[in-house]
Structure 1
Amino acid sequence: MRARPLDVSVPTLEHSTPDGGSVGKAISLLTAFGDAAGGATLTELAHIAGVPKSTAHRLLGVLRDAGLVDRDGMDWYLCAPMLRLGAVALRGGAGVLREVALPYLSELYELTHENVHLGVLDGTDVVYLDKIYGHRSTSTPSRVGSRLNAHTSGLGKAILSRSDRTAVKRVLDGGLRPTTTRSIALPGMFLRQLEAARQEGVAFDREECREGLVCVAAPILGPSGRAVAAISVAGSARTLKIDAIASAVRNAAVQVSRKAGPDVDLIATGT
């Protein structure tokens, strides 16, 4: 039987509560942790989840009694049962992709000793699935599970360069808000970057996401030829020569694309 193509889509973290009930609001609070950097205060969680502070306080108490969350001073954080659920979620297509990509991510780290990432597109954001770094790597804001604007990141541009028009339009419609003075905010210039990335097989972030950081990324392609994810190397603008390592990143992505093709189910079973 022919294996199904790899599906590495991630659920969009919507904080709306269509039923207006306590269950919906509790779910919104839990998903709000995905937009928080580790722990978050009651006020921050209530704001992200879009619920009254008093409601958030009551529901966090219920979730705490259930052992799903806890607090340390002013900060609330997820407990082990939620982390185990996250691990289970990564046993699907995204988990298989991580397993296939890991040897190539490791090789890129050994080559550069900088931050190596694996990410997927979720709406107008990139979600990090994996990160390899060392104690001498440049400090970056990325962490597994965190999100970043696709239009300012090498990962996002690499994926969008091999995505359909709907995905690109979604990012353009969301607005190309700059995060640094080097961010691309003009749609025409952004589209030209995507075309260059499509032609070259790599995309660059030249201090567009954060001052002092640069990145080179390449798309991982599915059987249809469209990007399902991307890998990148990010580091200091002073020391990381992203043009010099672009071919290595591109070649790594090509290898992952080949191994995570239509026979991904066979890869998952190790055959």
Structure 2
Amino acid sequence: MPEHRLDERSVLGRALLILEAFGVEDQAVGLSELTRRTALPKATVHRMCRDLVTARLLSSSPDGYRLGRGLFELGMRAATERTLLEVAVPFLQDLFTRTRETVHFGVRDGDEVVYISKIGGHRQARAPSRIGGRMPLYCTAIGKALLAHSGPETIDRILAGPLIRRTPRTVVAPGLLRTQLAQIAERGLAYEREESALGIVCVAAPVLSADDQPLAAISVTGPVTRFHPEAHAASVQAAATGVASILARRAQNTA
């Protein structure tokens, strides 16, 4: 799938360039650093940041600029994800209560998983995921659950690579990965065994539409030292089926 980006010479393109310059760990970023990250003229960055603060997409402080609450509010208006979360959260909470391990809920966006919910307790596994974060489809349980139920063109494109080895256990052989995806599609369960990060294992199940299209996926993740994903496979699958059932009823009622 070709990637289309906004023209960075346009106002919208420059605004997006500034917003995307903020990293996950950033607390506040100064004007000079934003100028360096975006490679835009300093006067342009200053003017754009002033407008973004007015629009509440950024906030300013003596330490620099931060992403604003307006971005969060806009994100929560995304209709599809909001509906998914409204239905899924009770099932995710029940799954956490049952397993006491980290529960994830993710959707596919292009060739990646976007995590839209994560529930973990005091002993949650040190997984690389975060709400709003992205991971490749091919090396996560949620990603493989979504990919296995995607169309053959999508599978062929991703298997054609590049498949980056994130750990020594990441499956990067296209033939082996294709076999895994076929098994996942047949069984409705996907596993990850230290493929996205060392020390964690995971089991996931897809949330499918009435015509078997992947809407989202649910997973439970735990440390390899104590977590046995097969023991929780039925619970994860039941949660995914429950979410799919309610979504299907809602779709029928609004048809």
Counterpart in the other structure of 1:128 = 115
Distance in 1 separating the partners of 2:176 and 2:193: 14
Distance in 1 separating the partners of 2:36 and 2:157: 24
Counterpart in the other structure of 2:233 = 246
RMSD, aligned CA: 2.7
Return the offset for 1:244: 1.1
1:138-185 residue CA offsets vs partner (Å, 9 max, x unmatched)? 232222111111111100000111111122133224411111000011
SS, match of residue 261 in structure 1: helix
Return the offset for 1:16: 3.0
Distance in 2 separating the partners of 1:94 and 1:131: 14
Counterpart in the other structure of 1:22 = 11
Structure 1 residue 154 corresponds to structure 2 residue 141: yes
Match of 1:195 among 158, 163, 182: 182
Unaligned 5+ runs, structure 2: none
Whether contact under 8 Å (1:39, 1:76) holds in the other structure is no
SS, match of residue 260 in structure 1: helix
SS, match of residue 196 in structure 2: coil
Distance in 2 separating the partners of 1:46 and 1:17: 19
**CA 1:108–1:23 in structure 2 vs 1: closer, same or farther (change >3 Å)?**
same
Aligned residues: 250
Whether contact under 8 Å (2:201, 2:229) holds in the other structure is yes
SS, match of residue 258 in structure 1: helix
Alignment of structure 1 residues 24-63 onto 2, 5 Å? 24-33=13-22, 36-39=23-26, 41=29, 51-52=39-40, 54=42, 55-56=44-45, 58-63=47-52
Larger RCO, structures 1/2 (Cα 8 Å, 6+ apart): 1
Whether contact under 8 Å (1:114, 1:138) holds in the other structure is yes
Structure 1 residue 259 corresponds to structure 2 residue 246: yes
Structure 1 residue 110 corresponds to structure 2 residue 97: yes
SS, match of residue 248 in structure 2: coil
Q: Percent identity?
A: 35
Return the offset for 1:69: 1.2
**TM value normalised by structure 2:** 0.86
Structure 1 residue 210 corresponds to structure 2 residue 202: no
Distance in 2 separating the partners of 1:152 and 1:45: 32
Distance in 1 separating the partners of 2:135 and 2:67: 21
Return the offset for 1:120: 0.6
Unaligned 5+ runs, structure 1: 1-13
Return the offset for 1:62: 3.6
